[in-house]
């Protein structure tokens, strides 16, 4: 397991994925969008070949709108996608520790962790993601997990980017939201009044 060294600087990396199902066991990772939280123009977008036997959930397909036949022809093999992700992380983070940032990070994290452990034998992000929903909950003293949806958060922290279900566009939207959550003054007093 990769050890996170506390003496190294950190770089926040917004990650979003699209998948053909709800878990790596019953779906395939189809697309990865990544960008630096502080420099969203430093970005990576990858589309992957789904394994021939991977389930294809029609509900998920309506959301991600990726064509399976095109991905089978043009997508990257998973090993190449994992190598490109790691190379990009090295290029943009250098010696800093990359920190995985996601909105509902658990979902995106499980697909990335599965890919990199299978293909690289390690996880460049270490063993834990930073979840923006949990950050929002703690920061604004929100007491119900059900009140941490994207709409709830962006109502308090408006963003100009739209959520489109394109992995890179959504990673950039998450980066914008992360900057707001980190940069704005504590809003806990306002949240207690609502």
The total number of residues written for the chain in this structure? 194
Is 90 in the active site? Answer: no
pLDDT digits (tens, 9 = 90+) for 103-155: 999 999 999 999 999 999 999 999 999 999 999 999 999 999 999 999 999 99
Residue 137 has a pLDDT of 95
Residue 161 has a pLDDT of 86
List the catalytic residue out of 64, 90, 127, 165.
Answer: 165
pLDDT digits (tens, 9 = 90+) for 67-108: 999 999 999 999 999 999 999 999 999 999 999 999 999 999
10-193 has CATH 3.30.420.10 classification = yes
**Statement: residue 194 has pLDDT above 50:** no
Residue tagged 């021939």 (tokens): 52
Domain boundaries, the chain: 10-193
Q: How confident is the model at residue 191 (pLDDT cuts 50, 70, 90)?
A: very low
Q: How confident is the model at residue 14 (pLDDT cuts 50, 70, 90)?
A: very high
* pTM summary value: 0.90
| Beta carbons of 183 and 157 less than 8 angstroms apart | no
Burial annotation 153-174 (CB, 10 A radius, 16+ → b, else e): bbebbebebebebbbbbbbbbb
> Percentage of the chain with pLDDT > 90?
83
Residue 163 has a pLDDT of 85
């Amino acid at each position: 397991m990769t050890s996170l060294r506390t003496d190294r600087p950190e770089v926040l990396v917004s990650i979003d994925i699209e998948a053909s199902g709800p878990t790596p066991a019953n779906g395939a990772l189809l697309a990865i969008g990544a960008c630096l939280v502080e420099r969203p123009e430093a970005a990576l977008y990858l589309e992957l070949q789904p394994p021939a036997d991977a389930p294809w959930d029609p509900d998920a397909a309506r959301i991600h709108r990726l064509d399976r036949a095109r991905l089978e022809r043009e997508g990257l093999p998973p090993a190449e996608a994992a190598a490109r992700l790691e190379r990009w992380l090295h290029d943009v983070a250098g010696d800093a520790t990359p920190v995985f940032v996601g909105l509902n990070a658990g979902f995106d994290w499980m697909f990335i962790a599965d890919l990199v452990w299978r293909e690289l034998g390690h996880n460049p992000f270490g063993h834990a993601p930073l979840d923006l929903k949990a950050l929002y909950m703690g920061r604004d003293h929100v007491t119900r997990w059900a009140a941490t949806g994207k709409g709830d958060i962006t109502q308090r922290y408006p963003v100009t980017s739209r959520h489109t279900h394109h992995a890179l566009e959504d990673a950039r939207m998450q980066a914008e939201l992360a900057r707001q959550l980190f940069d704005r003054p504590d809003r806990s007093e306002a949240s207690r009044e609502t």
